[in-house]
Amino acid sequence: KKLGYALVGLGKLSQGQLVPGLKAARGAKLTALVSGDKAKATRIAEANGIAADAIYDYAGFDRIANDARIDIVYIVLPNSMHAEYTIRALKAGKHVLCEKPMATSAADCEAMIAAARNADRKLMIAYRCHYEPHNLEAMRRIRSGQYGKPKLVVTDMSRQSTLSDPSDAWRLDAKLSGGGALADMGVYGINGARYLLNEEPVEVRAWAQTDRSDPRFREVEDLIAWQFKFPSGAIANGSTSFGVVGAMRFDVYCERGRLRGDPGAYYGGNRLDVFGGPGQGPVELPDIDQFAREMDWMADVVRGTVPLVTPGEEGLQDVRLIEAILQSVAKGGATVKTDWGYKRAFDP
């Protein structure tokens, strides 16, 4: 049986990627909608065969507890709202898939993890790159040792933002986003460095370049560049910005080869190229619907047939690193220790 998803928040990602992704999914389907905009929800419900009584608003959200059509609740709201709706969904007895960044504070992440434990339900963070063929192949090749030791990871995650777009306005609000570009796009590079190297940073240093006279950056930083130091000696250079041209890319420099994903984290059209090592040239991989695969994965986690690759603890680790980066920025690039002993539970 296909498991039923309720989408909470019907903005750009839900409408553009998740509604189509649930149509393409093998073991999951869209069965309910949660929105503050009745007309929008009704329009999306009618276009997708969702029953009128499966549309909820935020005030009536907790009634999902009595709706057997909903197995999994997917939180697709502004970042500062993830914790509240995740915890309410878990209390309603539902499993939760929550968008990145997991929350806007480590304390909120910890409360979400505790709520999943208390409710005995699954909590997965929607790190789509863990379900994307080019990223998975990069991980596999680096782990195989065929290029020797990985020594340097470079990640750049950026785009131009526009205050007049409501979807960007909350991303430029410090309270709603938890950190502008860093929380929105930088988290791909933070998470990426960790899964590409399969180890955790022990130190971070970071600097920002922000024009406070630009109305977009009154509250949040624009460009942040950071460095992670890993126990193996490897270094990661990361950057993120909401004020430069778009990019989502990584390079992994190993002793005998360089792996480049450019683009490496787009919704589609990603690449993986090998330079200077075994199998030089482009790596040919299928361009799948990574959202469908991710939502199918969550359904299989609920069925108990696959491991939880991106649990709440993975989201918490990145939020703690976001906080450490912002601390270092506030201290003008001072070293912040991040060796709190986290280890990823599962490496694909």
Residues contributing to the site for ligand NAD (CB under 6 A): 9-14, 36, 76-79, 99-100, 126, 128, 166-167, 170, 184
Least distance from ligand NAD to the Cβ atom of residue 98, Å: 8
Residue 82 or residue 94: which is nearer to ligand NAD going by CB? 82
Q: Is the four-CA dihedral 327, 329, 331, 337 of positive or negative sign?
A: positive
Amino acid at 266: Y
Residue 162 or residue 167: which is nearer to ligand NAD going by CB? 167
Least distance from ligand NAD to the Cβ atom of residue 64, Å: 16
Q: Is the four-CA dihedral 281, 285, 291, 294 of positive or negative sign?
A: negative
Least distance from ligand NAD to the Cβ atom of residue 108, Å: 13
Residue 35 or residue 227: which is nearer to ligand NAD going by CB? 35
Least distance from ligand NAD to the Cβ atom of residue 11, Å: 2
Residues taking part in catalysis: 100, 188
Residue 58 or residue 207: which is nearer to ligand NAD going by CB? 58
Least distance from ligand NAD to the Cβ atom of residue 36, Å: 6
Residue 129 or residue 235: which is nearer to ligand NAD going by CB? 129
Determine contact, residues 127/290, Cβ cutoff 8 Å.
no
Q: Give the whole-angstrom CA distance, residue 274 versus residue 304.
A: 36
